[in-house]
Amino acid sequence: MEKKTSYLYILSLLIFLSSSELCQSIRCHPEDKKVLFQIKQHFGNAYTFASWNPDTDCCYWYIVKCDPRTNRISRFNLITADDVSGHIPDTIADLPYLQSLTFHKLPNLTGTIPSSITRLTKLTSLTISWTNVSGPIPPFIGELKNLTFLDLSFNNFSDSIPPSLADLRNLNGLRLDRNQLSGSIPESFGNFTLSLQYLYLSHNQLSGEIPKGWGDLPFIFMELQRNRLEGDISFLFGKNKSIQVADFSRNLLQFDFSNLQFPDDLGTLDLNHNKIYGSLPEDLVNLDRLFLNVSYNRLCGKIPSGGRLQELDYTSYFHNRCLCGSPLPDCK
C-alpha cells in the first residue's frame, strides 16, 4: 500500500516535470498571443484564422512567424483571403517586434492606413497591395525610417504622393503603381538616397516633370508608364547609368532623342505613345539585350543598322513622323 502511494507520487511528479518542461518550450510571447486574438476578433473570427488555436504555440500559427532569437512575432503576412473584411486594425501596432507586414490580395480589406502603424519602428518591409484600402497615402508612412521595401500597389489610393516618403532613407524598392494618384511627383523624390533601385509609379494620373535629382540615382528598374508625365527624361540615360528596365510609355514626354547614350546592360526601353522627336540614337546598336518600343512618337530618319534594331518587330517603330529603314519600309 505504502509502496504504491510513493510510486504514484513519483509518477505524478514525473508528469508534472515533463509538463512544466513543455511550458518552457512554448516560444510564443503571451502579449503577442493576446494581440493576435484581438486581430482575429477584429476580423470577425474569419475562417482564415481558424488554425489560431489558443492551446497551441502562436509561433507556429499560419500567417505569422516568430523571430528565432527573441521569439517575438516578427512577420505578419495575411494574403489571399476573401473572408477578411473591414479595415486594418489599430492593434496591429501592438506587435512591436514586427519587421515584415503584408496585406495582399484581400478584396474586402477597406478603410485607410491607421496612424498607429508608425509605432512599428522595426518594420523593414510593408506591403498593402491588391486590396480596397483607399484615401490619400498618409504622410506618416515617412516615419517608418527602417523600411527598405514599401509596396502600396493595386489599391484605391488617391490624391498626391506625400513628399515625406523621401524621408525613407533606406528604401531599396518603392511601389505605388496602379492607384489613382494625381499631382506631380514630389520634388523631394529627387532627394532619395543611393539605395533606391526599384521604382514603380505606373498606372496613375501623375503629371508634371520627373525630379531633376533622379539623374544621380542608381535606378535599375523604373516603371512609370500610363501617367501624364511631361518634359525631358534624357538625363536618366548615359553610359554610366545602371538602368536596365525603363518603361515610360503612354505619357506626354517631349524631348530630342537623337544623341542619347545608354548603359550596355539596358534591357527594356519602352517609350511608346509620347511626343519624343529627333532621330534614333546611333548608340542603340551597341545594346545586345535591347527590347525597344518607340512607336507612336514624332521620330524621324533612318533606323540605325546593327545590334538588335533590325530583329525587333516593325511595331516597335511604327506610327512616327518619318522613321524609315528596316524593319520599316526603306527610306525614300
Ligand X SMILES: *[C@@H]1O[C@H](CO)[C@@H](O)[C@H](O)[C@H]1NC(C)=O
244 binds ligand X (CB under 6 A): no
73 Cβ contact partners less than 8 Å away, ≥ 6 residues apart:
29, 32, 35, 36, 58, 59, 64, 65, 66, 67, 95, 97, 98
- Using the contact rule CB under 6 A, the part of the chain among 1-9, 14-22, 72-80, 289-297 near ligand X is 289-297
Choice between 57 and 191, CB closer to ligand X: 191
Of 32-40, 153-161, 223-231, 277-285: span binding ligand X (CB under 6 A): 153-161
**Residue 159 binding ligand X, by CB under 6 A:** no
Q: Which H helix or E strand runs over 182?
A: strand 180-184
Q: How far is the CB of 272 from ligand X (least distance, A)?
A: 4
**Closer to ligand X by Cβ: residue 56 or 288:** 288
Instruction: Tell me if residue 123 falls in helix, strand or coil.
Output: coil
Q: Choose the stretch contacting ligand X; rule: CB under 6 A; options: 19-27, 28-36, 128-136, 297-305.
A: 128-136
Q: Which stretch binds ligand X (CB under 6 A): 16-24, 64-72, 150-158, 198-206?
A: 150-158
Give yes or no for residue 240 binding ligand X (CB under 6 A).
yes
Q: Which is nearer to ligand X, 37 or 291 (CB)?
A: 291
Q: In the bound complex, what is the minimum distance in angstroms from residue 210's beta carbon to ligand X?
A: 14
* CB 176, CB 202: distance < 8 Å: no
- List phi, psi (to 5°) of 306: 130, 175
CA atoms within 13 A of residue 329's CA, in its CB half-sphere: 4
Q: Which of residues 266-285 bind ligand X (CB under 6 A)?
A: 272
| Minimum distance, C-beta of residue 18 to ligand X, in the bound complex (Å) | 37
Dist. CA 172–CA 169, nearest whole Å: 9
Q: What residue ranges in 193-293 does DSSP mark as E strands? A: 198-200, 205-208, 221-223, 228-231, 245-247, 252-253, 268-270, 277-278, 291-293
Instruction: Considering only the stretches 215-223, 228-236, 292-300, 302-310, report the one whose residues sit in contact with ligand X under the rule CB under 6 A.
Output: 292-300
Give the three cell numbers for residue 267.
534591357
Q: Which of 108, 182, 258, 326 binds ligand X (CB under 6 A)?
A: 108
Grid coordinates in use for 161?
504622393
Closest C-alpha to 264, from 282, 284, 248, 280 = 284
Using CB under 6 A, which of 132, 160, 182, 254 touches ligand X?
132
User: Judged by CB under 6 A, how many residues of this single chain contact ligand X?
Assistant: 29
Residues 139/114, Cβ–Cβ less than 8 Å: no
- Contact with ligand X (CB under 6 A) among 51, 56, 121, 310: 121
Cα distance between residue 58 and residue 29, in whole Å? 8
Binding flag, residue 38, ligand X (CB under 6 A): no
Does residue 327 have a cis peptide bond before it, meaning omega lies within 30 degrees of 0? yes
- Which parts of this chain interact with ligand X (CB under 6 A)? 82-83, 85, 107-108, 121-122, 130-132, 134, 145-146, 154, 156, 158, 180, 187-188, 191, 238, 240, 272, 293, 295-296, 313, 315-316
